[in-house]
Amino acid sequence: MAGEFGHMPFEETGPVCGCGNKGCWETFVSNRAGLRYYRELAPESTLTSFQELLDLALKGDIRALRSFDKMMTYLARGLAVLAAGLAPEAIIIVGDCTALWPRICPLLESHLIAKSFTPDTPRVVAAMDGDAARLRGAAALILHKVLFRQLDFPSPHEPAGERSSSKLIATHA
């Protein structure tokens, strides 16, 4: 489960997540969240898919655009936390929302700049190749796991003389 940033606790009173916890970051930024925001603004809505919401936003529907703005505000809040902790050079946004990139990019960038405690903020870029970008990311995780394995680290309670010199090592196939 390492790297599951979507399950960072975000708001204790938030919606129930698929993992069973309440208020995980993903419950505020997922496609499902976007549909929920739209239904809050348009209770009479019969939208059943994120693609329908995206189509409305692309046509300029104000409630759809506000739904995306709310999603991106939550996305930006979480990205600011990750940027502070991980200090990446770039953040690559993957997903259907990139169809609205001219609208969402400035929102994400301005939030990162406002929340940064240094003058250096990560570049925010869109991966416009959708599923291929997701596949590359998954492949990178698998390759990293295969190429780099962590040996057992000694317990901090283990006497110093019995500690091994285990480190994170690269292995070659």
pLDDT of residue 127 exceeding 90: no
pLDDT in tens, 128-167: 765 666 666 667 667 767 777 654 455 555 555 444 443 3
Q: Which pLDDT value is given to residue 169?
A: 34
Q: Which domains does the chain have, with CATH numbers?
A: 5-128 (3.30.420.40)
pTM of the model: 0.74
pLDDT in tens, 51-109: 999 999 999 999 999 999 999 999 999 999 999 888 899 998 988 899 999 999 999 99
Instruction: Give the residue among 23, 15, 61, 14 at the shortest CA–CA distance from 6.
Output: 23
Cα dihedral: 62, 65, 69, 72 (round 10): 170
